[in-house]
Amino acid sequence: MGEYTDYINELRLEYYRYCEKKEYNEPIVSVIVPAYNVEKYIERCLFSLVKQSFKNIEIIVVNDGSEDMTADIINTFASMDSRINVIHQKNKGLSAARNKGIDISRGKYIAFVDSDDCVDDDFIFNLYNAITKYDCDIAASTIIRKRKLSQKYRVHYTEEKIYSTLEEKLNVCRIPVCCYVWNKLYKASLVKTHKFEEGVYYEDVLWTPAILKDSDKLVTVPNTNYYYWVNKGSVVKKVQSPQKQKDSYNAKKYIIQFYNENELVLSEKSKKLTKSIKYLFGIPILKTKEYNGTDTTMLFGLIPVCKTPSTKTFLVFNTACFGDNLVCNALCQNIKRIYPDSKVVFIADKPFADVARHQKDVDDVVIYDKKGEHKGLSGMLKFIRSFKYKNAYAAIITYRNVRNYWIAVLSHTKHIIKGKKISLTTVTAQEQILNRLKMITNESLIDVPIKYEAEGSLSEELEVLLPKNKKYIAMCCLTKNPPKDMPLKTAIDIIEKLSEDYKIIFTGIGSDCLNYAELLKSAGCDFINLVNKTSINELALVLEKCEALISVDTGTMHLGYAIGIPTIAVFYEQITLKCWAPNKSLYPHVSVLNKPTSEEIIKTLNSQQYKEISTCH
């Protein structure tokens, strides 16, 4: 019956000792349990129900087309307890399973329990006593969220108290953050007039506020617990499909309309609804400022649904900057290794299209001009309408980016891997981005060197500046983050000491680099100034002519070792060192130096190892 823990095995034995084939009176309470592929958890759930101190219950288990051992386990329980009524049906979804249970229920009261959760032994007894004592329509218990090694209160009631106004009932149930159907006992007459909407996700969000509105009174019941178990395989933890995203928006829209129609204001904790709904659905939501007043259902209508392509297409989103694009290449190579017939499409910002275009195993590049024609919401819609890779197999958003996420959603991508913030204290950024692929494959991943394949030839102007009879060393001394910059004196010392054997090429972009170059000239340094004079591909062609590269800028150093040039990666600040420095096991032609002096840099450059690598290069 699956892989069960010792606890579950002991639980089963206890159940066998506990249960006898008994006949019970007509049920007062009907407990509805929808079940789908929960062989690991269903015993725990059903055992907590048959042990209830309140005996006059029926347990309606609706097996919604399970493909594992769920049905066998349910049938075993039913064979020993006459109160368990099992319904087997084709897979129709959670709402259809609950509705089926409602249709055949006989009790005066109804409770819902999810098949991977469980309840206290006195759960029904306490709720029933409270709901009948005060003649309420609903009684609600405390919710304890449980994980393998921890638990905490999700909703905590410390007193038996009556709530009658809609606002009170919504607040005490923590709507809209916690639109839970379970943890409550309802009058059956109320539930039977509120069927669940079938064929949609987030049916709880649509159902719970409405039934609270139509109820008369709600009572909270202290010292009574519903245990909500968080499992990796649950529906809310699965990869978000386009349909699921669309349903999440509709649920969000419903909540807003519900509060407006009933002239209610969201509680302070839920005031920023985009944040509340993001937490509720577990997905990023469009920023209110950017999308205020826009009906997202219109967005879906603007995007045509295309036929699913025969070739698996992988979208790699990285609209960040130079180096960030390069470290995605190990990911692209692994996609091609695992899916040889796939197509890898890189979505890059306009200034960095060349970085993506010349990477190994990238089949096509689509430019997202986020500061130009694709700026803002209208620009995003323009991009999506012309985007030719709709219905792609997967989208991997390498960084946390709401815009890229919604491009993937509205393009009807099957699997969407949301980006995460790069951690500065764990493995390299390259490996973190590569690991995004684990979400959709069981194949092992291999961290491989990134490869950039420069194409074309240098312009006549650059050919004149770089005659073939010279030996060159390239230097990149500035970044966009001043603490990472090379001290001017260090750069001067390096240029002066290397000028006898090499011609120094000074690279960079922007006014700060121009000013830095002027200071070097003022100090009498002799070098070729290429600041603002090359594209990224031209810079790669220049670096191929060099004996080595010395760089503090991570993008430039990534480019250096991606084309195979001996590279000295220099770090003057430590925050990004572990994350952005290259992995030495992958790049033997790279040396990583931590706050080096000019003497240490030159010593590394003149080492026998570097001379051998330079000769091979």
Looking at residue 58, its pLDDT comes to 95
Tens of pLDDT, residues 143-170: 998 887 678 888 999 999 999 999 999 9
Mean pLDDT of 412-430: 83
Confidence band for 23, pLDDT divided at 50, 70 and 90: low
Q: Which SS3 state, helix, strand or coil, does residue 7 take? A: helix
How far apart (Å, rounded) are the C-alpha atoms in residues 71 and 87?
10
Looking at residue 492, its pLDDT comes to 95
Which stretches does DSSP call E strand in 206-342?
218-229, 313-318
Tens of pLDDT, residues 562-584: 998 999 999 998 777 888 888 88
How far apart (Å, rounded) are the C-alpha atoms in residues 50 and 500?
88
SS3 labels along 194-217: CCCCCCCCCHHHHHHHHHHHHCCC
Mean pLDDT of 169-192: 92
Give the CA diameter of the chain. 102
Query: Residue 424 gets which letter from DSSP?
Result: S
Answer yes or no: pTM beyond 0.75: no
Confidence band for 208, pLDDT divided at 50, 70 and 90: very high
> Nearest to residue 129, comparing CAs of 160, 84, 153, 157?
160
- Whether 13 has a pLDDT exceeding 70, the answer reads no
Tens of pLDDT, residues 274-330: 344 443 333 333 333 333 333 333 333 333 444 444 478 999 998 888 888 899 999
Confidence band for 2, pLDDT divided at 50, 70 and 90: very low
Mean pLDDT of 439-468: 88
Break the chain down into helix, strand, coil percent, rounded to 5: 40, 20, 40
- Give me the residue label for tokens 């009807």: 412
Looking at residue 283, its pLDDT comes to 36
Q: Which SS3 state, helix, strand or coil, does residue 338 take? A: helix
Length of the chain: 617
- Whether 269 has a pLDDT exceeding 60, the answer reads no
> Nearest to residue 110, comparing CAs of 95, 99, 94?
99
- Do the two domains 6-235 and 313-439 of this chain adopt the same fold? no
Phi and psi of 316, rounded to 5°? -110, 110
Q: Are 277 and 285 in contact (CB under 8 A)?
A: yes
10 Å Cβ neighbour count for 109?
Answer: 26
Least confident of 177-191, 227-241, 443-457, 502-516: 227-241
Mean pLDDT of 191-220: 92
Q: Are 103 and 81 in contact (CB under 8 A)?
A: no
Average pLDDT of the residues of the chain:
84
How far apart (Å, rounded) are the C-alpha atoms in residues 136 and 185?
10
What's the topology of domain 460-616?
A: Rossmann fold (3.40.50)
Q: Where are the domains of the chain?
A: 6-235, 313-439, 460-616
Number of H helices, E strands in the chain: 26, 21
Which stretches does DSSP call E strand in 440-555?
472-476, 503-506, 528-529, 546-551
Q: Are strands 184-187 and 109-112 parallel, antiparallel or unpaired?
A: antiparallel
Six token digits for residue 554:
């991570």
- Whether 118 has a pLDDT exceeding 70, the answer reads yes
Cα 599 to chain center, whole Å?
A: 45
Looking at residue 239, its pLDDT comes to 47
Is CATH 3.30.465.10 correct for 313-439? no
How far apart (Å, rounded) are the C-alpha atoms in residues 507 and 529?
7
How far apart (Å, rounded) are the C-alpha atoms in residues 60 and 74?
10
Mean pLDDT of 356-372: 92
- Cis before 176 (ω within 30): yes
CA distances, 270 to each of 171, 278, 279, 600 (Å): 10, 11, 10, 56
Tens of pLDDT, residues 469-491: 889 999 999 998 888 999 999 99
What's the topology of domain 6-235?
A: Spore Coat Polysaccharide Biosynthesis Protein SpsA; Chain A (3.90.550)
Mean pLDDT of 516-526: 95
CA distances, 292 to each of 258, 288, 296, 377 (Å): 18, 5, 10, 10
Confidence band for 517, pLDDT divided at 50, 70 and 90: very high
Looking at residue 587, its pLDDT comes to 87
Q: What percent of the chain has pLDDT over 70?
A: 85
Mean pLDDT of 164-191: 92
How far apart (Å, rounded) are the C-alpha atoms in residues 486 and 418?
35
Q: Are 297 and 250 in contact (CB under 8 A)?
A: yes
Mean pLDDT of 370-375: 90
- Give me the residue label for tokens 């209830």: 52
- Whether 81 has a pLDDT exceeding 90, the answer reads no
- Whether 244 has a pLDDT exceeding 80, the answer reads no
Query: At CB < 8 A and 24+ separation, what contacts does 287-294 make?
Result: 287/402, 290/376, 290/377, 291/377, 294/377
